[in-house]
Amino acid sequence: MTTTDLLAITPLIILSAASVVLLLVTAFYRNHKVIAVLALMGIALAFASLPMVSSEVSLPFTVTQLIILDGYALLYMGLLFAVSFVVILIAHGYLEKRQGNHEEFYILVLLATLGCAVLVASSHFASLFLGLEILSVSLYVLIAYLYTDERSIEAGLKYLVLAAVSSAFLLFGMALVYAELGTMEFTQMASHANAGNHSMLLLAGMGLMVVGIGFKLAVVPFHLWTPDVYEGAPAPVTAFVATASKGAVVALLMRYFATADSYAHSSLFQVFTVIAIASMFAGNLMALLQNNVKRILAYSSIAHLGYVLVAFIAFRADEMMAVTAVTFYLVAYSVTTLGAFGIITVLSPGDREADAIDDYRGLAWHRPWLAGIFTAVLLSLAGIPLTAGFVGKFYVVAAGVGSALWLLLVLLVVNSTIGLYYYLRIVVAMYRTPEDKAGEAATGLTAAESPTTPASLPLIGGVVLAGLTLLIVWLGVYPATLMRVIKVAVDTLV
């Protein structure tokens, strides 16, 4: 490798080095606050290196056959690093309330972020699988990190088994594609697609890959692990899974289809159409039946991935609009979801999580500013105007209109209406009067034991939540700045 190669992958090197440094420091000196600060410094340095790579390296730049650095990869790396930074900030106060050693948590978050970064820059099946496994192995431990909690252990085991199964499907699919095309490079696959290679072996391989990726995205019918994992995992970990993990896989999927010209296979997009419809309906209808906020957000995430697939399906007609819409939606969804799980994180006491709807009954009377933030977050998830979620859905609809996906658009509107109901259930609970005793009867907690009673909240958590709320409103009122950045970055892909 040349000096330029090393310069191009500086963000990946920094994350790797930071993980090793944290591991060594933890081995000799355990201090929760010191390790958290070092982890934040590592991610901040990786983020700060992105402009340097953009200015010092002629993009797009290929490092061996495995990694490609372009504006698209750097944009998603920036998003992933920002998400990880926020997750660490909210996780510190959350872990402080719990007994045990917590230094390893930050090492695992850095490694999971490294896996995500490798995914978004992958241009080869080998780097794809390497990044996916770095991410998955880290998540196995993070999800089960609260090993004294049976739900956390159960969630970790479920994710371990299903992630292993999905990796098997993905590997077998890669093997079939390689057997047919004789290459594992995305760009080399494009020439075969242009040559009209539509053999059954190739389609079978790509179908198996869709199954493997479907598990990672938790779209129907590969979604069964999602509510249990969201409920059992620590709230900051759930935030990471819902944003960084899924965002990286969506970014990889778009790169693969754009670079390998896989959109030439119309049958695959018919499969994605069925998955999108099923995900929207299953996610929203199942969320109606839940009384646990984390499970509601889990089923909501399934529906949101269905919305994302609507824009992805528009890829065949207008690549630029489709990728732009998906990217903006992922940014808006990441900011909003971090806010939702951030609220759960700061309100959770040391022995349980504030994940029941009744835990939020009367929140507006006890902590009005938190209720206001949570209301803004839920309205954004529902796609109400003047929020980031509304603008995200607007661009998804615009991409669908440009491709004449009328059926999918009608179903998207119908499902958005359904979703509004279960989001408003939480909002109504927050603004119920504090004298209402129904919550105590449902949870077995007295008012003094409820996580919504007045108490000191972590200062950092409050600042992070306020910043996320401002972002939600800013992106909903003035999205032009972010759209310009996205269009410049996406132009290098399509």
Check if the beta carbon of residue 40 is closer than 8 Å to that of residue 85. Answer: yes
pLDDT of amino acid 318 = 74
Structure tokens at 477: 């009122």
CA 248: distance to chain centroid?
7
CA distance 369 to 63: 48
- Is the predicted pLDDT of residue 47 greater than 90, yes or no? yes
Q: What is the pLDDT of residues 321-371, one digit of tens each?
A: 889 999 999 999 999 999 999 999 988 887 788 888 888 888 888 888 999
> Above 90 in pLDDT, residue 55?
no
Q: What's the rounded Cα separation, in Å, for the pair 411 and 304?
A: 13
For residues 286 and 302, give the distance between their C-alpha atoms in angstroms, rounded to a whole number: 10
pLDDT per position as a tens digit, 305-315: 999 999 998 87
- Judged on CB neighbours under 10 Å (0-12, 13-18, 19+), 274 is exposed
Q: Considering the chain, what is the average pLDDT of its residues? A: 87
User: How many CB atoms are located within 10 Å of the residue 101 CB?
Assistant: 11
Helix (H) or strand (E) holding 83: helix 71-96
Report the predicted TM-score, pTM, of the whole model to 2 decimal places: 0.92
Please check the confidence at residue 195 and state whether its pLDDT lies above 80.
no
Average pLDDT rounded to a whole number, residues 81-105: 89
Per the CB < 8 A criterion, the answer to whether 176 and 207 are in contact is: no
Question: Are the CB atoms for 163 and 215 separated by under 8 Å?
Answer: yes
Alpha helices in 288-402 (DSSP H): 293-313, 319-347, 363-366, 368-382, 388-402
For residue 108, the model assigns a pLDDT of: 94
- pLDDT tens profile 225-248: 899 999 989 999 999 999 999 999
* Percent over 90 (pLDDT), the chain: 52
pLDDT for the residue 247: 92
pLDDT tens per residue, range 422-459: 999 999 988 887 555 444 444 444 444 444 554 567 78
370 Cα distance to chain centroid: 23
Read off φ and ψ for residue 148, nearest 5 degrees: -85, -10
Residues 261 and 194: beta-carbon distance below 8 Å: yes
For residue range 97-142, list pLDDT tens digits in order. Answer: 887 788 899 999 999 999 999 999 998 999 999 999 999 999 999 9
Give per-residue pLDDT as tens, 386-407.
Answer: 999 999 999 999 999 988 888 9
The 10 Å Cβ neighbour count of residue 128 is 23
Would you put residue 339 in left (φ > 0), alpha (ψ -120 to 50) or beta? alpha
Spell out where 109-251 has E strands.
Answer: none
Cα distances (Å, whole numbers) of residue 301 to 241, 284, 390 = 11, 9, 16
Token pair listed for 5: 């190669």
Q: How far apart are CA 319 and CA 325, in angstroms?
A: 10
Q: Please give the pLDDT value at position 263.
A: 63
Looking at residue 433, its pLDDT comes to 72
Residue 380: per-residue pLDDT: 93
Buried b (16+ CB within 10 A) or exposed e, 312-334: bbbbeebbebbbbbbbbbbbbbb
Q: How far is CA 227 from the centre of its chain?
A: 15
Least confident of 35-39, 367-371, 469-473: 367-371
Query: Any idea which residue has 């920094």 for tokens?
Result: 14
Asked if residue 93 has pLDDT above 80, the reply is: yes
